[in-house]
Amino acid sequence: GENVEQHPSTLSVQEGDSAVIKCTYSDSASNYFPWYKQELGKRPQLIIDIRSNVGEKKDQRIAVTLNKTAKHFSLHITETQPEDSAVYFCAASITSGGSYIPTFGRGTSLIVHP
């Protein structure tokens, strides 16, 4: 099955700095790569995603890049703010039975210091 490695497990930055979280995956059939943010005590929520036919996608301060050859993808957050503090999960999804089945990384705890 798919295996997703996520690094770092903890990331501490000062407000205004950039943060980068990296993930690698093993199954070349994976074709959909979402990122979820989970604030303390809350449910995970999708913040950005990218499909295998795209190399980069941006949404305001958040961007995701994908290198299919190397099987890695990254989340970039610029101008970090204290409200960005959360656990971030990457996932790599294969299509099975017409649906995306994601395998998640272990998560990165991002701490943004004011």
Partner 1 sequence: DVKVTQSSRYLVKRTGEKVFLECVQDMDHENMFWYRQDPGLGLRLIYFSYDVKMKEKGDIPEGYSVSREKKERFSLILESASTNQTSMYLCASSSPPAGAGELFFGEGSRLTVL
Q: Which chain residues interact with partner 1 by CB under 8 A?
A: 1, 6, 9, 32, 34, 36, 42-46, 49, 89, 93, 95-107
Q: Which is nearer to partner 1, 2 or 78 (CB)?
A: 2
Which residues partner with 51 through β-bridges? 32
Q: Which is nearer to partner 1, 43 or 83 (CB)?
A: 43
User: In angstroms, what is the minimal distance from the CB of 51 to partner 1?
Assistant: 8
User: In angstroms, what is the minimal distance from the CB of 1 to partner 1?
Assistant: 6
CA dihedral (95, 99, 100, 101) in degrees, to 10, reads -90
Beta strand pairing status for 45-51 and 32-38?
antiparallel
User: In angstroms, what is the minimal distance from the CB of 37 to partner 1?
Assistant: 11
User: What does the block give as tokens for 109?
Assistant: 């705890």
Place of tokens 């790599």: 92
Q: Which is nearer to partner 1, 25 or 36 (CB)?
A: 36
Place of tokens 């604030």: 39
Q: 3-class DSSP state for residue 99?
A: strand
Q: Choose among 23, 24, 94: nearest CA to 52.
A: 94
Q: Which is nearer to partner 1, 41 or 114 (CB)?
A: 41
User: In angstroms, what is the minimal distance from the CB of 5 to partner 1?
Assistant: 11
